[in-house]
Amino acid sequence: MMKKILLWVPLVLLGLVMILAGGAKLAGLPEVHASFAKMGLPEWFGYFIGLAELLAGIAMFVRKWTALAATGVIPVMIGAVYYHIAYEEPSAIPAVIFIGLAVYAIFIRKKEAIWYPV
């Protein structure tokens, strides 16, 4: 039982964070969208990333989709790391941790993944 809980905690953490981050972007919160404007990206890009984060967060709770969702989280978090470093924003460490959690999710769910041969 404890092993099962320890397997799920990182997935739940990553899933909930992605849902919350995606929801904030889809809600159009100005402070969240300011980073995209700062990089010279169009306004719709923040909504696109928000939708990707929200869908990935939801998919983290579906065994068959977890590895695929985590694979999608990695480039989004690499973008977050880039933003924090290039624009001298506070710590990129949370994004690096989420990349680690995504890699963990891929490895523990790879045999259940939608792309895994039957």
Every domain of the chain and the residues it spans: 2-111
| pLDDT of the residue at 21 | 96
Name the most confidently modeled range: 31-40, 60-69, 105-114.
60-69
Instruction: Give 16's contacts (C-beta < 8 A, 6+ positions apart).
Output: 57
pLDDT given for residue 88 in this prediction: 86
Residue 58 CA to residue 18 CA, distance in Å, equals 8
Helix (H) or strand (E) holding 23: helix 2-26
Arithmetic mean of pLDDT over the chain: 92
Residue 116 has pLDDT above 90, yes or no: no
47: number of Cβ within 10 Å: 17
Q: What is the pLDDT of residue 118?
A: 59
Mean pLDDT of 6-18: 93
pLDDT > 80? residue 57: yes
Between 51 and 110, the more confident residue is 51
Question: What tokens appear for 97 in the block?
Answer: 């941790």
Residue 69: which of 18, 8, 6 has the closest Cα? 18
Give the Cα separation of 55 and 80 in Å (integer): 17
